[in-house]
Homo-oligomer: A and B are copies of this chain.
Amino acid sequence: MEKEFLAIIAGVLALLFAFVFSNQIKKESDGNERMKEIAGHIHQGAMAFLKREYKYLAIFIVVIAVIMTVIPSLGWKTAIAFVLGAILSILAGYFGMNVATKANVRTAEAARNGQSKALKIAFSGGAVMGLSVVGLGVLGLTITYLFFDGNVQYLTGFGLGASSIALFARVGGGIYTKAADVGADLVGKVEAGIPEDDPRNPAVIADNVGDNVGDVAGMGADLFESYVGSIISALTLGAALVSKNILGNEAIIFPLILASAGIVASIIGVVIARNSKSENPQKALNTGTYIGGILVIIVSAVLSKMMFGDFKAFIAIISGLLVGMIIGKITEIFTSADYKYVKKIAEQSQTGAATTIISGLAVGMQSTLIPIILIAIGILVAFYAMGGSQESLMGLYGIALAAVGMLSTTGLTVAVDAYGPIADNAGGIAEMAELPHEVREVTDKLDSVGNTTAAIGKGFAIGSAALTALGLFASYAENTGITKIDVLNPVTLVGVLIGAMLPFMFSALTMESVGKAANKMIEEVRRQFKEKPGIMEGTEKPDYTTCVDISTGAALKEMILPGISAIVVPIFIGILLGAEALGGLIAGAVASGVLMAIMMSNAGGAWDNAKKYIEGGVYGGKGSDTHKAGVVGDTVGDPFKDTSGPSLNILIKLMTIVSLVFAPVIVEFGGLLMKLF
């Protein structure tokens, strides 16, 4: 049991770097009184949201832990692992957001003196998040594994904790940010005609808080889940290989060491990007990302040869990395204004909002083709490289390794991902504090770069979700002892149909929640403008707190139903129709969930950039009818790309892992309905 300590060292190292970066950020100047005040509002609003969210989650965690403890086939050990996974997921989000709400104002202040230092602060903020995610992830998993004497069964409990918190955080954060965004835009920009981030807008603080709770804390919990999910998927399959004497203990060690190597590579990449002397911020981020990626590739080749004696595992990992990167590129092609799809949506906007919507939906649907084929190729290559149909369990392990490979540099991709909202927030603070125009220009430039790298991160998230779910799915079959999930059996096909329906239902719920919450916000902003006419003249202060409260309350209320259903429905169907139908349900949910997630994310991204493209001056530019149509597309796309779409990736893994954890219960009680006949 000594190699596991390498993982602990890597995890501690990641947290150490996160701590150092965090302290360095805090030492920077946080600007003048006005900036401090605004940043204080945002920080407090974000923390108040997290605090209230954690209260709800605490109840949820305790209830599930008690249920697990009283079910004999699960027991207190699973419950403890579950609680640990949940708490670490919360901590990852908390660390990241805490530092992000400090880095934003310091980035704005640094931007007064140009780009270089502002980039460093914003990126360091993102790196704290990224390294916290991977550090806590690897540490948590390794400790759970060692604590339970190498029994991987309890890791699934850890994964359930991480997944369920991720879903709540993503859905809650997504609803919060979009409600505030839509509310601030629709009344402020459209009705009152004041610019974005104008301090007279009562929803402006809520909007900036939203960027933090949605795009930072929500995304952190999301990627924590993806990261540990992929490792757990590989570890449980590895353990099955060990128990069947197909492989030795290296099958369990390998994913942990690979993840540890990925952490070290991420740290090196982060340090390079952060200290880059390049004047071009895009280049700085790219250099770091590519160096990190290349390091992982080299290390995985060496590890594959050292531990397994051949390069089969390496091929599986490379196939995962390549698939993820190409999906990222495809995502960019479908959502960037440099390519024809976004341009076409802008062109179609000339005939009104209806054609904007139709063409955007068509682009989103079309954009599913290549990613699905790539995922298919990735699955087949990884499967046949490691084992294939002769040794199917080995092949499945290869698929799981491909996902671990994709996510091994999560520390780096999260750093780039989380850097965006920090720069965005810095711009908002600059605007509200009425800093010179040049400051905003710097932050805007910082915000706009990193899109390519962020797109690759998205590609990894989508690709790994499918591969991880597939790996967990195989473990589910191992644990329930079913030898097939045969869709020729109508009961299984019923499971597939119900499973395929769930992402639709889930998206409907989350989209409606955004609508409801946004409406409340719109009413409140309108009320304030009406009752306090001094706001617009600058003689009266708007009441930011009420808007923050509305977003907070609505997000928390609305996250409960989708979150709970994701956990209850698989267990219910498993007990009613049996383990095989539940397997069908998962397969159906993965298939339609991956598709809806790609469709919604890309349609949303394409609409967003089509609007920006029009704002750049084509087809009449800002204020034209074409632009108005583009704004409609962007508003529809907001819940698509920031709430429903990303939540689906978590949903499919959460449902898989719920089934996996509750497998003993389903084996014992499953198929109630069948027993009636």
Give residues of chain A (483-522) contacting chain B, Cβ–Cβ below 8 Å. Answer: 483-491, 493-494, 496-501, 504-505, 507-509, 511-512, 514-515, 518-519, 522
For residue A590, give the distance in angstroms from its CB to the closest CB of chain B. 8
Type the 1/0 row for A627-661, where 1 means its CB is closer than 8 Å to any CB of B: 00001100110010000000000000000000000
A498–B379 Cα gap in the complex (Å)? 12
A369–B470 Cα gap in the complex (Å)? 25
Stretch at the interface among A235-243, A352-360, A408-416, A451-459: A352-360
Q: Is the CB of A512 within 8 A of B359?
A: yes
Residue in chain B with minimal CB distance to A573: B376
Type the 1/0 row for A369-388, where 1 means its CB is closer than 8 Å to any CB of B: 10011011001100110001
Among B473, B488, B497, B499, the residue within 8 A (CB) of A485 is: B488
Residue in chain B with minimal CB distance to A187: B351
* Residues of B contacting A587 in the complex (Cβ-Cβ under 8 angstroms): 487, 493, 496
A635–B348 Cα gap in the complex (Å)? 14
Q: Is the CB of A348 within 8 A of B595?
A: no
Q: Is the CB of B504 within 8 A of A365?
A: yes
Q: Is the CB of B508 within 8 A of A366?
A: yes
For residue A191, give the distance in angstroms from its CB to the closest CB of chain B. 10
A584 at the interface (CB under 8 A from B): yes
Residue in chain B with minimal CB distance to A588: B591
Q: How many residues of A are in contact with the other chain, CB < 8 A?
A: 85
Q: Is the CB of A491 within 8 A of B380?
A: yes
For residue A477, give the distance in angstroms from its CB to the closest CB of chain B. 5
* Residues of B contacting A487 in the complex (Cβ-Cβ under 8 angstroms): 485, 487, 496, 583-584, 587
Type the 1/0 row for A610-637, where 1 means its CB is closer than 8 Å to any CB of B: 0000000000000000000001100110
Among B380, B466, B501, B584, the residue within 8 A (CB) of A372 is: B501
A113 at the interface (CB under 8 A from B): no
A351–B487 Cα gap in the complex (Å)? 45
A396 at the interface (CB under 8 A from B): yes
Q: Is the CB of B515 within 8 A of A355?
A: yes
A263 at the interface (CB under 8 A from B): no
A474 at the interface (CB under 8 A from B): yes
| Also in contact, A504 and B599, with CB within 8 A (given A353-B353, A515-B348, A674-B389) | yes
* Residues of B contacting A357 in the complex (Cβ-Cβ under 8 angstroms): 357, 632, 636
A392 at the interface (CB under 8 A from B): yes
For residue A602, give the distance in angstroms from its CB to the closest CB of chain B. 11
* Residues of B contacting A496 in the complex (Cβ-Cβ under 8 angstroms): 487, 587, 591
A663–B338 Cα gap in the complex (Å)? 45
A388, A474, A494 — most chain B CB neighbours (10 Å): A494
A522–B477 Cα gap in the complex (Å)? 56
* Residues of B contacting A470 in the complex (Cβ-Cβ under 8 angstroms): 490, 493
A594 at the interface (CB under 8 A from B): yes
Residue in chain B with minimal CB distance to A514: B358
Residue in chain B with minimal CB distance to A639: B358
Type the 1/0 row for A568-602, where 1 means its CB is closer than 8 Å to any CB of B: 00000000000000011001101110110001000
A674–B390 Cα gap in the complex (Å)? 11
Q: Is the CB of A384 within 8 A of B353?
A: no
A368 at the interface (CB under 8 A from B): yes
Q: Is the CB of A392 within 8 A of B358?
A: no
Q: Is the CB of B392 within 8 A of A489?
A: yes
* Residues of B contacting A599 in the complex (Cβ-Cβ under 8 angstroms): 504
Chain A interface SS verdict (over half)? helix
Residue in chain B with minimal CB distance to A508: B365
* Residues of B contacting A399 in the complex (Cβ-Cβ under 8 angstroms): 490
Type the 1/0 row for A395-409, where 1 means its CB is closer than 8 Å to any CB of B: 110010000000000
Q: Is the CB of A361 within 8 A of B677?
A: no
Q: Is the CB of A632 within 8 A of B380?
A: no
Type the 1/0 row for A170-210, where 1 means its CB is closer than 8 Å to any CB of B: 00000000000000001000000000000000000000000
A672 at the interface (CB under 8 A from B): no
Give residues of chain A (239-269) contacting chain B, Cβ–Cβ below 8 Å. Answer: none
A395–B505 Cα gap in the complex (Å)? 29
A362 at the interface (CB under 8 A from B): yes
Q: Is the CB of B361 within 8 A of A511?
A: yes
Type the 1/0 row for A425-436, where 1 means its CB is closer than 8 Å to any CB of B: 000000000000
For residue A349, give the distance in angstroms from its CB to the closest CB of chain B. 12
A146 at the interface (CB under 8 A from B): no
For residue A465, give the distance in angstroms from its CB to the closest CB of chain B. 12
Q: Is the CB of A486 within 8 A of B484?
A: yes
A673 at the interface (CB under 8 A from B): yes
A373–B502 Cα gap in the complex (Å)? 11
Residue in chain B with minimal CB distance to A495: B376
Among B355, B362, B501, the residue within 8 A (CB) of A508 is: B362
A674–B395 Cα gap in the complex (Å)? 14
Q: Is the CB of A380 within 8 A of B485?
A: no
A674–B353 Cα gap in the complex (Å)? 48
For residue A568, give the distance in angstroms from its CB to the closest CB of chain B. 15
A499–B376 Cα gap in the complex (Å)? 11
* Residues of B contacting A499 in the complex (Cβ-Cβ under 8 angstroms): 591
For residue A284, give the distance in angstroms from its CB to the closest CB of chain B. 37
A373–B505 Cα gap in the complex (Å)? 12
* Residues of B contacting A466 in the complex (Cβ-Cβ under 8 angstroms): 497
* Residues of B contacting A483 in the complex (Cβ-Cβ under 8 angstroms): 488
Q: Is the CB of B362 within 8 A of A501?
A: no
| Also in contact, A353 and B632, with CB within 8 A (given A358-B511, A376-B498, A591-B497) | yes
* Residues of B contacting A490 in the complex (Cβ-Cβ under 8 angstroms): 379-380, 383, 392, 395-396, 399, 470
* Residues of B contacting A363 in the complex (Cβ-Cβ under 8 angstroms): 508
Q: Is the CB of A358 within 8 A of B515?
A: yes
A358, A368, A484 — most chain B CB neighbours (10 Å): A358
Give residues of chain A (306-362) contacting chain B, Cβ–Cβ below 8 Å. Answer: 348, 351-355, 357-359, 361-362
Listed A/B pairs (20) with beta-carbon separation below 8 Å: A348-B515, A352-B632, A353-B632, A355-B635, A358-B514, A361-B511, A362-B512, A365-B504, A376-B497, A380-B490, A380-B494, A392-B489, A399-B490, A485-B487, A485-B488, A487-B487, A487-B584, A487-B587, A497-B590, A497-B594
Q: A352-B635, A497-B594 are known contacts; what are 10 more A-B pairs with Cβ within 8 Å? A: A361-B511, A362-B515, A365-B511, A373-B498, A380-B491, A389-B674, A396-B490, A485-B486, A487-B583, A632-B632
| Closest 7 pairs (CB-CB, A-B) | A354-B635, A365-B508, A500-B591, A366-B508, A484-B486, A372-B501, A365-B504
